[in-house]
Amino acid sequence: IITPVAFSQFDIKGCQFLKSQINRDTDKLPQWNILFNFFRKQRTDNPENQRNQYESIFRNVFSDYISPVVIPETTYVRKIIDAGEQLTATKQKAALHNAIKDLSEFCGATIRQGNTNG
């Protein structure tokens, strides 16, 4: 079970609700993972920075459920989703392509050899 999130109060509250529902209604909580979506690396170590505060809250509250894979913030996400642009391993799209590949492998998908265009 993968829950993509952005760093926001809404997503924190949503994850708290989902965690309680998954735990209450199923035995799948150990398979639940939170996926940081539109992720960008910290630009500052300042704990007052809002982005850093959200990441800190997610990591403190949901530490056992955070996926080791993140989907990077890039303009190509919207182009691929909204405009149907192809995700390839080109230099411009490499970070996103590699993240999707890593996520696929994390989920247990087998990547076919020779398939470099995503």
- Tell me what pLDDT residue 117 has: 52
Q: Would the pLDDT of 113 be above 80?
A: no
Question: Mean per-residue pLDDT for 9-22?
Answer: 97
pLDDT in tens, 33-45: 999 998 888 777 8
The string of pLDDT tens digits covering residues 81-95 is 888 889 988 999 999
pLDDT at position 51 is: 86
Parallel, antiparallel or unpaired: strands 66-72 and 33-39: parallel
Q: Whole-model pTM? A: 0.82
Task: Please give the span between the terminal C-alpha atoms of the chain, in angstroms, as a whole number.
Answer: 22
